[in-house]
Homo-oligomer: A and B are copies of this chain.
Amino acid sequence: LDTVAQIEIGTVAGRSPRRPAGAFENLARVNRHRVGETLHYPGKEAHYLYRMITGAARETILTADGRRQVVDFLLPGDLFGFTVAGKHEFFAEVIAENTTIARYPRSDAQRLTELDAAAERLMSEAALKTISRLRTHMMLMRGCTAVGKLSGFLLEMAQRSVVLPSDGLALPMSRYDIADYLSVAVETVSRAFSVLRREATVAVAGPRLVWILDRGALIRRSAVPWHRMVTPDQDAY
Protein backbone atom coordinates (compact mmCIF):
# COMPACT_ATOMS: atom_id res chain seq x y z
CA LEU A 1 0.00 0.00 0.00
CA ASP A 2 2.93 2.29 -0.14
CA THR A 3 1.87 3.30 -3.48
CA VAL A 4 -1.56 3.77 -2.34
CA ALA A 5 -0.41 5.96 0.39
CA GLN A 6 1.65 8.08 -1.81
CA ILE A 7 -1.06 8.67 -4.30
CA GLU A 8 -3.42 9.30 -1.55
CA ILE A 9 -1.37 11.95 -0.07
CA GLY A 10 -0.52 13.54 -3.31
CA THR A 11 -4.13 13.55 -4.15
CA VAL A 12 -5.11 15.11 -1.16
CA ALA A 13 -3.26 17.77 -0.38
CA GLY A 14 -6.10 19.63 0.92
CA ARG A 15 -2.98 21.29 1.86
CA SER A 16 -1.63 22.19 -1.54
CA PRO A 17 -3.67 20.62 -4.30
CA ARG A 18 -1.81 20.54 -7.54
CA ARG A 19 -3.75 22.45 -10.12
CA PRO A 20 -4.43 20.95 -13.51
CA ALA A 21 -2.46 22.19 -16.45
CA GLY A 22 -3.36 25.43 -18.19
CA ALA A 23 -5.15 24.04 -21.21
CA PHE A 24 -7.30 21.92 -19.01
CA GLU A 25 -8.02 24.68 -16.58
CA ASN A 26 -9.36 26.89 -19.34
CA LEU A 27 -12.34 24.61 -19.66
CA ALA A 28 -13.37 25.18 -16.08
CA ARG A 29 -16.50 26.89 -14.82
CA VAL A 30 -16.44 27.36 -11.09
CA ASN A 31 -19.69 27.14 -9.16
CA ARG A 32 -20.65 27.66 -5.56
CA HIS A 33 -22.94 25.10 -3.99
CA ARG A 34 -25.10 24.85 -0.89
CA VAL A 35 -25.28 21.98 1.55
CA GLY A 36 -27.54 19.22 0.31
CA GLU A 37 -27.19 20.09 -3.35
CA THR A 38 -26.96 17.09 -5.67
CA LEU A 39 -24.24 17.24 -8.31
CA HIS A 40 -25.22 14.03 -10.03
CA TYR A 41 -27.23 10.89 -9.42
CA PRO A 42 -27.40 7.31 -10.70
CA GLY A 43 -28.43 7.10 -14.32
CA LYS A 44 -27.68 10.72 -15.09
CA GLU A 45 -25.71 11.38 -18.23
CA ALA A 46 -22.16 12.23 -17.28
CA HIS A 47 -21.61 15.56 -18.98
CA TYR A 48 -18.97 16.93 -16.67
CA LEU A 49 -15.86 16.17 -14.73
CA TYR A 50 -15.54 17.97 -11.44
CA ARG A 51 -12.75 19.19 -9.25
CA MET A 52 -13.40 20.06 -5.64
CA ILE A 53 -11.88 23.44 -4.83
CA THR A 54 -13.21 24.22 -1.36
CA GLY A 55 -15.67 22.38 0.85
CA ALA A 56 -16.68 18.74 0.72
CA ALA A 57 -19.06 16.27 -0.89
CA ARG A 58 -19.88 12.61 -0.59
CA GLU A 59 -20.54 9.95 -3.17
CA THR A 60 -23.24 7.51 -2.12
CA ILE A 61 -25.21 4.61 -3.46
CA LEU A 62 -28.40 2.96 -2.28
CA THR A 63 -28.16 -0.79 -2.02
CA ALA A 64 -30.88 -3.20 -2.99
CA ASP A 65 -31.84 -3.64 0.65
CA GLY A 66 -32.31 0.07 1.11
CA ARG A 67 -29.19 0.92 3.03
CA ARG A 68 -27.05 3.85 2.07
CA GLN A 69 -23.34 3.49 1.52
CA VAL A 70 -20.86 6.30 1.33
CA VAL A 71 -18.45 5.28 -1.40
CA ASP A 72 -16.09 8.21 -1.19
CA PHE A 73 -15.60 11.59 0.39
CA LEU A 74 -14.52 14.34 -1.96
CA LEU A 75 -12.21 16.96 -0.52
CA PRO A 76 -10.32 19.92 -1.98
CA GLY A 77 -8.08 18.83 -4.83
CA ASP A 78 -10.03 15.72 -5.74
CA LEU A 79 -11.02 15.21 -9.36
CA PHE A 80 -14.22 13.19 -9.69
CA GLY A 81 -17.09 12.29 -11.96
CA PHE A 82 -15.34 9.50 -13.84
CA THR A 83 -17.58 6.93 -15.45
CA VAL A 84 -17.12 3.98 -17.71
CA ALA A 85 -20.43 3.69 -19.50
CA GLY A 86 -21.11 7.40 -19.67
CA LYS A 87 -23.72 7.36 -16.94
CA HIS A 88 -23.20 8.07 -13.28
CA GLU A 89 -23.63 5.28 -10.78
CA PHE A 90 -23.69 7.28 -7.60
CA PHE A 91 -25.19 10.27 -5.91
CA ALA A 92 -22.79 13.13 -5.33
CA GLU A 93 -24.06 15.51 -2.68
CA VAL A 94 -22.50 18.58 -1.16
CA ILE A 95 -22.06 18.28 2.60
CA ALA A 96 -20.11 21.39 3.61
CA GLU A 97 -20.77 25.11 3.61
CA ASN A 98 -18.87 27.28 1.17
CA THR A 99 -18.31 24.50 -1.29
CA THR A 100 -16.95 25.56 -4.66
CA ILE A 101 -16.43 23.13 -7.48
CA ALA A 102 -14.83 23.48 -10.91
CA ARG A 103 -16.77 21.86 -13.70
CA TYR A 104 -15.22 20.68 -16.98
CA PRO A 105 -17.37 19.68 -19.94
CA ARG A 106 -16.60 16.04 -20.49
CA SER A 107 -16.56 16.21 -24.26
CA ASP A 108 -14.03 19.00 -24.24
CA ALA A 109 -11.92 17.22 -21.68
CA GLN A 110 -12.07 14.08 -23.74
CA ARG A 111 -10.98 15.88 -26.86
CA LEU A 112 -8.22 17.55 -24.89
CA THR A 113 -6.82 14.27 -23.64
CA GLU A 114 -6.58 13.06 -27.19
CA LEU A 115 -4.60 16.09 -28.27
CA ASP A 116 -2.66 16.96 -25.18
CA ALA A 117 -0.38 14.38 -23.58
CA ALA A 118 -0.22 16.42 -20.40
CA ALA A 119 -3.99 16.37 -20.05
CA GLU A 120 -4.02 12.67 -20.69
CA ARG A 121 -1.49 12.13 -17.97
CA LEU A 122 -3.48 14.34 -15.66
CA MET A 123 -6.53 12.20 -16.13
CA SER A 124 -4.70 8.94 -15.65
CA GLU A 125 -3.11 10.30 -12.54
CA ALA A 126 -6.47 11.37 -11.17
CA ALA A 127 -7.86 7.92 -11.87
CA LEU A 128 -4.96 6.33 -10.03
CA LYS A 129 -5.52 8.62 -7.11
CA THR A 130 -9.13 7.64 -6.98
CA ILE A 131 -8.09 4.03 -7.05
CA SER A 132 -5.76 4.53 -4.16
CA ARG A 133 -8.46 6.31 -2.18
CA LEU A 134 -10.78 3.40 -2.73
CA ARG A 135 -8.09 0.96 -1.76
CA THR A 136 -7.45 2.76 1.47
CA HIS A 137 -11.18 2.80 2.03
CA MET A 138 -11.29 -0.96 1.60
CA MET A 139 -8.61 -1.46 4.17
CA LEU A 140 -10.50 0.78 6.54
CA MET A 141 -13.61 -1.30 6.28
CA ARG A 142 -11.73 -4.50 6.89
CA GLY A 143 -10.38 -3.37 10.20
CA CYS A 144 -11.73 -5.94 12.59
CA THR A 145 -13.10 -3.69 15.31
CA ALA A 146 -15.16 -0.54 15.03
CA VAL A 147 -12.59 1.44 17.01
CA GLY A 148 -9.97 0.23 14.57
CA LYS A 149 -12.01 1.41 11.62
CA LEU A 150 -12.59 4.79 13.17
CA SER A 151 -8.92 5.10 14.04
CA GLY A 152 -7.98 4.51 10.44
CA PHE A 153 -10.62 6.91 9.27
CA LEU A 154 -9.36 9.70 11.50
CA LEU A 155 -5.82 9.17 10.24
CA GLU A 156 -7.05 9.35 6.68
CA MET A 157 -8.97 12.53 7.33
CA ALA A 158 -6.04 14.08 9.14
CA GLN A 159 -4.05 13.57 5.99
CA ARG A 160 -6.64 14.58 3.46
CA SER A 161 -8.43 17.39 5.22
CA VAL A 162 -7.30 20.85 5.92
CA VAL A 163 -5.95 21.02 9.42
CA LEU A 164 -7.14 24.08 11.25
CA PRO A 165 -4.76 26.73 12.59
CA SER A 166 -5.67 25.49 16.05
CA ASP A 167 -4.25 22.13 14.97
CA GLY A 168 -7.72 20.65 15.24
CA LEU A 169 -9.25 18.41 12.61
CA ALA A 170 -12.50 19.71 11.12
CA LEU A 171 -14.61 16.80 9.94
CA PRO A 172 -16.96 17.96 7.21
CA MET A 173 -19.23 14.94 7.54
CA SER A 174 -21.84 13.80 10.03
CA ARG A 175 -21.73 10.70 12.20
CA TYR A 176 -24.20 9.13 9.82
CA ASP A 177 -21.85 9.72 6.90
CA ILE A 178 -18.96 8.20 8.81
CA ALA A 179 -21.11 5.22 9.73
CA ASP A 180 -22.12 4.61 6.13
CA TYR A 181 -18.52 5.06 5.05
CA LEU A 182 -17.18 2.49 7.49
CA SER A 183 -20.30 0.34 7.24
CA VAL A 184 -21.18 0.25 10.87
CA ALA A 185 -24.19 1.59 12.75
CA VAL A 186 -24.24 5.24 13.79
CA GLU A 187 -24.40 4.22 17.39
CA THR A 188 -21.26 2.18 16.96
CA VAL A 189 -19.41 5.17 15.54
CA SER A 190 -20.53 7.25 18.45
CA ARG A 191 -19.41 4.61 20.92
CA ALA A 192 -16.07 4.29 19.19
CA PHE A 193 -15.57 8.03 19.52
CA SER A 194 -16.39 7.74 23.19
CA VAL A 195 -13.79 5.03 23.64
CA LEU A 196 -11.07 7.09 21.98
CA ARG A 197 -12.11 10.09 24.04
CA ARG A 198 -12.03 8.17 27.30
CA GLU A 199 -8.59 6.85 26.44
CA ALA A 200 -7.41 10.36 25.66
CA THR A 201 -6.44 9.26 22.18
CA VAL A 202 -8.49 12.10 20.78
CA ALA A 203 -10.21 15.18 22.15
CA VAL A 204 -13.38 16.62 20.72
CA ALA A 205 -15.12 19.98 20.75
CA GLY A 206 -18.49 19.19 19.32
CA PRO A 207 -19.16 16.36 16.91
CA ARG A 208 -17.19 17.79 14.02
CA LEU A 209 -14.07 19.18 15.63
CA VAL A 210 -11.44 16.71 16.74
CA TRP A 211 -7.90 16.80 18.06
CA ILE A 212 -5.64 13.81 17.65
CA LEU A 213 -3.74 13.51 20.89
CA ASP A 214 -2.06 10.14 20.38
CA ARG A 215 -1.36 9.42 16.75
CA GLY A 216 0.57 6.30 17.62
CA ALA A 217 -2.43 4.80 19.35
CA LEU A 218 -4.57 5.43 16.29
CA ILE A 219 -2.01 3.75 14.05
CA ARG A 220 -1.77 0.78 16.36
CA ARG A 221 -5.53 0.28 16.50
CA SER A 222 -6.16 0.61 12.79
CA ALA A 223 -5.53 -2.43 10.65
CA VAL A 224 -4.39 -0.21 7.82
CA PRO A 225 -0.65 -0.23 7.30
CA TRP A 226 -0.40 3.50 7.80
CA HIS A 227 3.11 3.15 9.05
CA ARG A 228 4.05 2.80 5.44
CA MET A 229 2.40 6.01 4.44
CA VAL A 230 4.69 8.87 3.74
CA THR A 231 4.01 12.16 5.37
CA PRO A 232 2.39 14.89 3.31
CA ASP A 233 5.63 16.83 3.29
CA GLN A 234 7.44 14.11 1.43
CA ASP A 235 4.71 14.22 -1.16
CA ALA A 236 6.41 11.55 -3.18
CA TYR A 237 6.06 11.22 -6.93
Q: For A7, what are the chain B residues with a Cβ–Cβ distance below 8 Å?
A: 1, 4, 84
Q: Using an 8 Å CB-CB cutoff, how does the interface string of A1-24 with B read, 1 for contact, 0 for none? A: 111111111000000000000000
Beta-carbon contact of B139 and A85 below 8 Å: no
A130 within 8 A of B: yes
Beta-carbon contact of B132 and A131 below 8 Å: no
A63 within 8 A of B: yes
**Count of this chain's copies in the oligomeric assembly:** 2
Beta-carbon contact of A3 and B223 below 8 Å: no
Residues of A122-141 whose CB lies within 8 A of B: 123-124, 127-132, 134-135, 137-139, 141
Q: For A63, what are the chain B residues with a Cβ–Cβ distance below 8 Å?
A: 139, 142, 223-225
Beta-carbon contact of B8 and A131 below 8 Å: yes
Residues of A25-77 whose CB lies within 8 A of B: 42, 61-65, 67, 69, 71
A191 within 8 A of B: no
Q: For A183, what are the chain B residues with a Cβ–Cβ distance below 8 Å?
A: 141-142
* Distance in Å: Cβ of A112 to nearest Cβ of chain B: 13
A117 within 8 A of B: yes
Interface of A: prevailing SS? helix
Q: Do A236 and B85 contact each other (CB < 8 Å), given the known contacts A134-B138, A223-B65?
A: yes
Beta-carbon contact of B5 and A128 below 8 Å: yes
Q: For A124, what are the chain B residues with a Cβ–Cβ distance below 8 Å?
A: 113, 120, 123-124, 127
- Contacting A5 at CB < 8 Å: which of B87, B113, B131, B220? B131
Beta-carbon contact of B134 and A135 below 8 Å: yes
Beta-carbon contact of B84 and A129 below 8 Å: yes
Cα A19 to Cα B113 in complex, Å, equals 23
Given A8-B131, A69-B139, 6 other A-B contacts at CB below 8 A?
A1-B7, A63-B139, A63-B223, A113-B124, A134-B134, A137-B138
CB-defined A-B contacts under 8 Å, sample of 15: A1-B3, A1-B128, A2-B3, A3-B87, A4-B89, A8-B131, A62-B225, A64-B219, A64-B222, A85-B237, A89-B135, A123-B124, A127-B127, A138-B138, A138-B141
